Structure formats: structure tokens, C-alpha cells
Amino acid sequence: MQQAVTTKPSSLKDLIAVFLRIGVTSFGSPTAHIAMMEHEAVRKRGWITEEHFLEMLAATNLVPGPNATEMAMHIGYVEAGYPGLIAAGTSFILPSFIATVAMAWLYIRYGSLPQTAAIFYVLNPLVLAIVINTVWNMGKASLKAWQSVLIFGLALAAALLGVDELIIIFGAALLGLLLIYVLKNPPQKAALSLFSLAPLPLLIPFLQHSADWLHSKVVQLFLYFLRTGAVLFGSALVLFPLVKDDVVTRFGWLSLPQLVDAIAVGQMTPGPVSSAVTFIGFMVAGLPGAIAATIGLFLPSFLIVMALGPLLAHWAKSSIAKAILKGVNAGVIALLISIVIAMGRHALVDVWTALLLAAGLAGMFVLKLEPYWLVLAGIGIGIATALF
């Protein structure tokens, strides 16, 4: 692994300045965020090589946590060790946290006004188009081998039957290990790998009910999103099928329309889409809830990158990790389809919203627009509709 760099930042202030700027200006998908980091860290500043950047990206795809946020942490770790990791990760998250808290406050104060309802009436079908495009692209990239297609089919059936999302994720991971790794390796080696992972299913009840231990909403938010952050793979949009049933039904924190609005807010604000968790926390318990939910979601990523940094080269090449990831990817695509169905029931209320969805799909699939253009268009049309 080539790790030589051509230029070093003079201090933590450089890392903070760069990732604050990326956090403020990075609208759109995690892929767009990562592209901005590559431009700054590789091409513009020469902090790391292209090869090292790609190795870090491969590693983030193999572990839980929002990919773009973990890339910021990896770059910070390479440049300034653990202080750099914390500085870069926090700087990337902070702008979206502040923007989302402001949006949540406005939503609570003015959300019942007809003008606000008009904005979300237009915005939600367009956000649905963004999610559909994401699912399509993920499916094309991930569902190529028969094993992945089989895992996807089983996961989708389980999701439609109401099986718990965590069980689906763990089941998809184990099926990936069995169908992709075990079938291609000697029995003794595969058996050893399975034995080492045998305790994982025992974690499911612990993770599922950890938020029930204490009655404080702030503590519940922290524990619940700590659990969620520990099993979140890939795109931050995967977050929403993971939390939908719990947030809406089990805890009753938000209604389904409010959760869909949280997804829209995540698209409207800069930085990681997973900042919508901040919105959920604020809706449930104000600013303390927003802080608790945000820390809970991102804390596993900080800990994972701290542990993974020295082992990056080995982990990125691990055939076991790659097999598990392929299984998880198939499972999360199935879960995303379930959230598309739920969003569609809320967002598509008449002919006009169906036409907005069609226009959004044309923008994403035909014109290849960046998601933020649809979001800006939705806000503009919604404001115009409310005023005129």
C-alpha cells in the first residue's frame, strides 16, 4: 500500500477548515461528498495518493457507518492521527447538524402552516424520485451474481412480511458469508470463519432492546441510534428502512408523514443525509434529543475508524468481509424498496404528485441531474404554490 504524501497540513486548523467547507457546500449524495474530499485531499492538496484514497474507500464499504463521514475520518487519521480523525469527522458533521436543528425548529414552529405544507407537498414526490434512483443504481451495482439476487429475494420477502430489519441485515450478512465465501473456500477454513462469527446472532436481542433499559427519551434516543449506527452499511438512505417501524410504531416518536419529511430535510441540508437523525432527535426531545441522537448514530463510526486505521490494507482485501458486504448490500436494497413503498403511500396523494414523481424520475434517469437540483426545484415550486 502506497501511503506517501506530497504535502502535509500545517495544523489541525487546516483539516478543520477543509472539512467545515466541505460540510457546508456538500449537497447531494454521499458519492458527491466523497468526490469533493478526493478533490481536496488528493488532487488539490496532495495530502494522500489516489491509491491510498481508494483503499480507504474500499474499507469504508466493508464496515458499518455512513461512507462519506468515515472517509473524512480516515483522511483526518492519516494526516494527524486520532486528533485529526476527530477534527475532520466532527467538522464534516457539524454544519449539517446546525442546519438540521434550524430546520427542525422551523418545522415545529411553522410546520402546520399551509405554506409549509405546500413545500412538502411538492418536495416529497421529488425526494421519492431521488430514493428510487439510488435504489436502482445500487441494484445495478450489487445484484449481479446469483447469490446476491437470491439473498435480495429472500430479504425482500422477509421485509414485506414484516420481519425485523436487524434480523434481515444479520441474515443477509450470514447468507453472504455462506453462499459467497464458504462455497469458494476449503471446508476447514470456512468452518473456522463461521465459528469466529457464531456469537453475532446473540447480539440481536441486545441491540434490539437496548433502548428499553431507561425511560429517559434522551437516553433512549442515544441508545437506539447507537444501535442503528452499528449496523448501518453504505448510503445513509439505508437508515430509514432500518428505523421506520421503531420510530413510527414501536416508540411512536414520529408519524410516518413526519419521518418522510425528515428524509426530505436530510436532502435539503448540506453534509451527510444521515443528519436527518438530528431532525428526529429534535422532534422528540428538543436540542438535547438532537445532540443525543446525532452522537449515538456517529459514535460507532468514530470507534470503527479508530480501530480500523492501522489495519486498513488487510481489511480492504479481506475476502470474508467482501462476502459479508455483498450479502448486506442485497439485504439493504430490499429494505430500501420497503421504504420506497412507504414513502409512495404518503407522497403520492393525487394526480399532481404522481406527475411530480414522473418529472423527478425523468430528471434523475434521463437528464442525470444531481439530487440537489430536484430539491431546490421542489422548494421553489412549493414556495411559488404557497404564495400564488
**In this predicted model, what pLDDT tens digit does every residue of 315-368 receive, in sequence order?**
667 788 788 878 888 888 898 898 889 889 888 999 999 999 999 999 999 998
Higher pLDDT, 101 or 112: 101
Q: How many domains are there within the chain?
A: 1
CA proximity to 242, closest of 135, 157, 331? 331
Which residues have CB under 8 Å from 145's CB, separation 6+?
A: 180, 326
In eight-state DSSP terms, residue 45 is: S
Establish if 178 belongs to a structural domain: yes
- State pLDDT tens for residues 126-148: 988 988 988 898 888 889 899 99
What does each C-alpha distance from 194 to 96, 154, 174, 256, 329 come to in angstroms? 40, 21, 9, 39, 19
Mean pLDDT calculated for residue range 232-253: 82
**Other CB atoms closer than 10 Å to residue 46's CB: what's the count?**
12
- Give the model confidence (pLDDT) of 216-234 as tens digits: 899 999 999 998 988 887 6
**Considering the domain boundaries, does residue 7 fall inside one?**
no
pLDDT tens-digit readout, 170-202: 899 899 989 988 877 765 454 444 444 444 444
pLDDT digits (tens, 9 = 90+) for 287-327: 999 999 999 999 999 998 898 777 766 666 778 878 887 88
Residue at grid coordinates 442525470:
368
6, part of any domain: no
Give the model's pLDDT for residue 10: 53
Segments forming the whole domain that contains residue 259: 12-387
| pLDDT at residue 202, rounded to an integer | 43
Mean pLDDT of the chain: 83
Q: Which of the pair, 318 or 24, is modelled with greater confidence?
A: 24
4, part of any domain:
no
Cβ neighbourhood burial of 44 (10 Å; 0-12, 13-18, 19+) = exposed
Dump the DSSP string for 204-246: HHHHHHGGGS---HHHHHHHHHHHHHHH--SSGGGHHHHHHHI
Q: How far is CA 196 from CA 70, 177, 320, in A?
A: 26, 12, 11
Q: Which residue has the higher pLDDT, 101 or 6?
A: 101
In a domain, 260, yes or no: yes
- Residue 1, pLDDT score: 45
Q: Which of 53, 20, 18, 25 is nearest to 370 (CA)?
A: 25
For residue 100, give Cα distances in angstroms to 24, 28, 277, 291, 334. 12, 15, 9, 11, 28
Give the pLDDT score at 375: 83
pLDDT at 113: 62
pLDDT band at 235 (very low <50, low <70, confident <90, very high): low
In a domain, 1, yes or no: no
Q: Looking at the predicted structure, is the pLDDT value of residue 114 above 60?
A: yes
153-to-150, 168, 231, 240, 384 alpha-carbon distances in Å: 5, 11, 20, 20, 43
- Interval 38-76: pLDDT, tens: 888 888 888 888 878 877 877 777 778 888 899 999 999
Rounded Cα–Cα distance for residues 5 and 12 (Å)? 17
- pLDDT score at 361: 96
Q: Which three cell numbers stand for residue 272?
A: 451527510
Q: Which residue in 162, 159, 176 sits closest to 336, CA to CA?
A: 159
User: What pLDDT, on a 0 to 100 scale, did the predictor assign at position 316?
Assistant: 64
Of 91-100, 114-123, 124-133, give the lowest mean pLDDT range.
114-123
Residue 280 in domain: yes
Q: What is the pLDDT of residue 315?
A: 67
Backbone angles phi, psi at 45, to 5 degrees: -110, -15
Cell numbers describing residue 387: 404564495
Among 204, 164, 153, 195, which residue's Cα sits nearest to residue 177?
Answer: 195
Residue 87 resides in a domain: yes
Residue with cell 445484484: 143
